[in-house]
Amino acid sequence: MSVVVDIDGTLIDISERLRAAMSLVLDRSVLLDDVRSMTTSQLYETYATEEQREHLPVLHERLWNLLLCEDELGFSLLRHDVPIPYAAEVLESWSTTNKVAYLTGRLDTTREDTLRQLEGFGFPVDNTELIMFERADYSGARVASVGPRLIDVRSKLFSAIARNGPVLMVVDDFPGYFEAYRRHDVPDLIGFRRFARRPVQSYIDNGATSVIGCWSELSNMQSPPP
């Protein structure tokens, strides 16, 4: 039996890294509160100068490169990441009776750094799986209309996990991905909603069975029954 968890925004708070990347791209200091409450487009609208607005595709490309660590500088920004409270304790406890599968949009080129980071934050890594995206998986997201959509890649990777054995639970902070998870027979699809920019209803509408705001809400589910 496995438990599938997303990493960024679910186990690890990357808002400080996003703030640093956005500040680099826009060459000015972006506020953390804004990163947490605004979409990327809203951040550009709020912070980009008139001249930068004329080159938004170039800026956005640079942002992708930093966040996906396609730009070497992106790796050094990983130091801004922090673990989300209680997540490591809960996963550690679940991992004693179930297999933990990390399903992340991070690129496979960051595998070593990601494992090191997870381990450093106290997340279980032994006997776990780390399923990552390939560079080509982003071609559709980066250049609109060419290549796969991220939801399709996510769906394909999740289907592969589900084919290997029953999945008991999924925890993810992105509402849109529940559209893929709901197609499988998973008892608990849990939306992790830490910041207000995503309405609770958006998780439910996409198929989440419940929505939590803190991992401590799951700590009484010591370990889902195998």
Residues that bind Mg ion in the complex, under the rule CB under 5 A: 6, 8-9, 173-174
Q: CB 105 → Mg ion: shortest distance, Å?
A: 7
Q: CB 126 → Mg ion: shortest distance, Å?
A: 23
Q: CB 59 → Mg ion: shortest distance, Å?
A: 22
Residue sitting closest to Mg ion (CB) = 9
Q: CB 206 → Mg ion: shortest distance, Å?
A: 14
Distance CA 48, CA 56 (A): 9
Q: CB 83 → Mg ion: shortest distance, Å?
A: 14
CA 106-108-109 angle, 5° bins:
100
Kindly tell me which of 48 and 157 has the beta carbon lying closer to Mg ion.
157
Distance CA 217, CA 194 (A): 12
Q: How close are the terminal C-alpha atoms of the chain, in Å? A: 6
List, edge to edge, every strand of the sheet that includes 99-107: 129-133, 99-107, 2-5, 167-172, 188-192, 210-212
Kindly tell me which of 62 and 193 has the beta carbon lying closer to Mg ion.
193
Kindly tell me which of 9 and 175 has the beta carbon lying closer to Mg ion.
9
Distance CA 166, CA 185 (A): 8
SS (H, E, C) 164-202: HCCEEEEEECCHHHHHHHCCCCCCEEEEECCCCCCCHHH
Kindly tell me which of 48 and 77 has the beta carbon lying closer to Mg ion.
77
DSSP 214: S
Q: CB 185 → Mg ion: shortest distance, Å?
A: 23
Do the beta carbons of residue 211 and residue 193 sit within 8 Å? yes
Do the beta carbons of residue 65 and residue 138 sit within 8 Å? no
Kindly tell me which of 137 and 173 has the beta carbon lying closer to Mg ion.
173
